[in-house]
Amino acid sequence: MCATKTGRYSESTYRGYVIGDTTVDGDDVVVALRQPLGEEAFEGIEEWSQVWLYYLLQGSEKATTIDYQVMDIVSLEGRKLRLRPIAGTTSAVEGARVIDIKPYHTLDAVL
């Protein structure tokens, strides 16, 4: 499932927080991270099976729209994180700028 929230901040507010850029490769989303996976922000990522992917939508001018989606981790290679939308969902993140990646836990779906 994909949900959208509209932020009250300008895009420039988030520019310093962009941690990666996306491309779509078939059904997969490839995130090219701007920092190594070993950094503190991604500690334990090798153990995660799913993630919350938070990203800025293209074309927003005054108010930035942040979208987020739960995705399965397909692989990790260097600074490349390959993700796949969970079963039954699609993703439209081509060219989106990623601002955060957090582990997804089954409990999150209940909350």
Q: Is residue 38 part of a domain?
A: yes
The count of structural domains within the chain is 1
- When computed from its CA atoms, the radius of gyration of the chain, rounded to whole angstroms, is 13
pTM over 0.95: no
Q: Is residue 44 part of a domain?
A: yes
Each of the 111 residues of the chain gets a pLDDT tens digit; together they read 344 343 433 444 454 567 888 888 888 889 888 776 655 666 777 788 888 888 887 655 444 677 888 899 999 888 888 999 887 677 767 777 888 888 887 555 555
Q: Is residue 111 part of a domain?
A: no
Residue 73 has what pLDDT?
92
How far apart CA 106 and CA 93 sit, in angstroms, is 23
Residue 88 has what pLDDT?
67
Residue 72 has what pLDDT?
92
